[in-house]
Structures are given as C-alpha cells and as structure tokens.
C-alpha cells in the first residue's frame, strides 16, 4: 500500500500555555478529498497551521509521503508539496491578481511550468483571467477565494489544504469553488478541507474527521457520517432526520 500523502500522529499543539490539539491522528491518502468538521474553537485552523509549521508542535509526528517533517519550516512544507489556503484568504491586497498567483509559485525555479500552471488556474477560474491586472483587494469575496485557491495551486501541490472554503460567500460562488475543487481533486491533487458548512463538506469529501475541543471524536467515510444521527443532531440541527 502507498504511504499516505499526509499522516498526522498523536499531534499536540497550541499557543504558549494554551494547548489546543490533543492527540490528533488523521491521514490523507494520495488523491483523496478529506474534510475536517467541527464547531468554532474545535482546533480546525490550529491543526492546519500546525501541519503548515506555522504553529509549533509540542508532541506527535507529521509526515508527508512517509517522510517525517515534524518541526520543519513553512517553506519546507511547501517544498514537500503541501499548499495552505488560509482562513480569511490573506491575499496581498495591493498586488495584482496575477502577482498574487505568481507569489504562490515563489519557491519554484521552473519558469515554463509556472507559466503553464498560471494558464491552468485561469482555465479553472476564468474570472481570475478577466481580473488578472486588478488589485486583489478590489475583488469580491468569492473572487478573492478563487484567487487564494489559485495561489495555493500555483505551488503545484500534491496536497491542498483549504481553511474555510465557503465562509461568508454567495451560494453561487460556493458552487463555482466546489466545482473547481472537484476538478482539481480529479487531477490527482489530494485535498484536506476545513469547512463550517458540514453538509457541503460531507457532500464534497471522500472521508471526514470530526474535531471536538481539540480531539478527533469521529471519523469515517463522508457518506456514512452524513447519515450518522449524532452528526445530524449536532451540526445540522437534526433536520430531515
């Protein structure tokens, strides 16, 4: 069997004295789409930031393609093929859409490949091509999210981590983004998705992990979790049970 794309084992992390993650174990197989669901403050964003080496890890192990990368630098994680689309998008507002996308390829030396990937991102989200010379700060929320996802893809990742794909966006934009994500995933890029819209997330993903107060409380195939009465009760208000 292949080594998992990403494997996180008994991870503990937090900020100073405040521990947020307790023994979190999860994995993402090559080409798989996995989502993490959980309420506010469950540690979803911290988990992503720990994987990206933006938050120090106090115990546990993070491995990419079987290689131990615990305690690496953010640049090392990007080089290993893990791209992070952060919560709130974090674009460079005073830089053009095109420059924002090119910044995603900051660590790559292959100019031809970068130009090729830029065209791929424009093909994926034609809206970005139309607005490539505009400052990123002038885009709508949905377009900014497209730009952020596109910037992540410009690193040519084998695992794309997205923190809140749909938060605060118009339903039509969410559809466009979800569609784009499916296409990216179909090309073999593994996706780890944090999403507050649990229904949407479980519909998109192959597998899901439920994070509650810093611990993984449930995991399994997304379809099975979507039918789990406890999940429906907790995250979907028990509707249509």
The structure tokens 């990123």 sit at 136
- Does position 150 bind other proteins by CB under 8 A? no
| CA pair distance 119, 172, nearest whole angstrom | 23
Helix (H/G/I), strand (E/B), else coil: 111: helix
Mask 105-134, x = binds other proteins (CB under 8 A)? -xx-------------------------xx
Mask 130-149, x = binds other proteins (CB under 8 A)? ---xx---------------
77 vs 225, which CB is nearer to other proteins?
A: 77
Q: Measuring CA to CA, which residue among 229, 124, 130, 217 is closest to residue 178?
A: 124
Nearest distance in Å: CB 195, other proteins: 19
Nearest distance in Å: CB 78, other proteins: 4
- Does position 79 bind other proteins by CB under 8 A? yes
Q: How many residues does the chain have?
A: 241
Q: Which of 84, 127, 207, 232 binds other proteins (CB under 8 A)?
A: 84
Mask 151-180, x = binds other proteins (CB under 8 A)? x---x-------------------------
45 vs 200, which CB is nearer to other proteins?
A: 45
94 vs 186, which CB is nearer to other proteins?
A: 94
Tokens for 228, please give them. Answer: 């789990």
Piece in contact with other proteins (CB under 8 A), picked from 11-19, 83-91, 202-210, 224-232: 83-91
107 vs 223, which CB is nearer to other proteins?
A: 107
Give the phi and the psi of residue 24 in degrees, each rounded to 5.
Answer: -80, 125
CA dihedral for 159, 204, 91, 111, sign (positive or negative)? positive
- Does position 44 bind other proteins by CB under 8 A? no
Helix (H/G/I), strand (E/B), else coil: 87: coil
106 vs 223, which CB is nearer to other proteins?
A: 106
Nearest distance in Å: CB 81, other proteins: 12
Query: Are the CB atoms for 55 and 94 separated by under 8 Å?
Result: no
Query: Are the CB atoms for 147 and 88 separated by under 8 Å?
Result: no
Q: Which residues pair with 223 in a beta bridge?
A: none
- Give the full edge-to-edge strand order of the sheet including 18-28: 18-28, 6-15, 57-64, 67-68
Q: Measuring CA to CA, which residue among 78, 65, 24, 68 is closest to residue 47?
A: 24
Residues in contact with other proteins by CB under 8 A are 52, 54, 73-75, 77-79, 84, 86, 90-95, 103-104, 106-107, 133-134, 151, 155
């Amino acid at each position: 069997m292949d080594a998992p794309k990403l494997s996180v084992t008994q991870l503990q992390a937090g900020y100073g004295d405040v521990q947020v993650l307790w023994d979190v174990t999860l994995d993402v197989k090559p080409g798989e789409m996995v989502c993490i669901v959980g309420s506010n403050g469950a540690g979803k964003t911290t988990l992503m930031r720990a994987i990206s080496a933006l938050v120090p890890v106090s115990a546990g192990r993070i491995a990419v393609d079987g290689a131990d990368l615990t305690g690496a630098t953010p640049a090392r994680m990007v080089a290993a093929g893990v791209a992070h689309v952060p919560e709130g998008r974090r674009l460079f507002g005073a830089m053009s859409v095109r420059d924002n996308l090119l910044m995603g390829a900051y660590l790559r030396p292959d100019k031809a490949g970068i130009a090729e990937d830029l065209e791929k991102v424009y093909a994926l989200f034609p809206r970005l091509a139309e607005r490539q010379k505009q400052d990123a700060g002038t885009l709508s929320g949905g377009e900014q999210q497209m730009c952020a996802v596109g910037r992540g893809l410009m690193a040519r990742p084998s695992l794309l981590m997205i923190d809140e794909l749909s938060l605060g966006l118009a339903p039509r934009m969410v559809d466009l983004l979800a569609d784009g994500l499916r296409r990216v995933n179909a090309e073999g890029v593994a996706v780890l998705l944090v999403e507050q819209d649990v229904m949407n997330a479980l519909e998109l993903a192959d597998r899901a992990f439920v994070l509650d107060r810093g611990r993984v409380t449930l995991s399994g195939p997304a379809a099975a979790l979507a039918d789990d009465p406890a999940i429906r009760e907790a995250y979907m208000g028990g509707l249509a049970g």
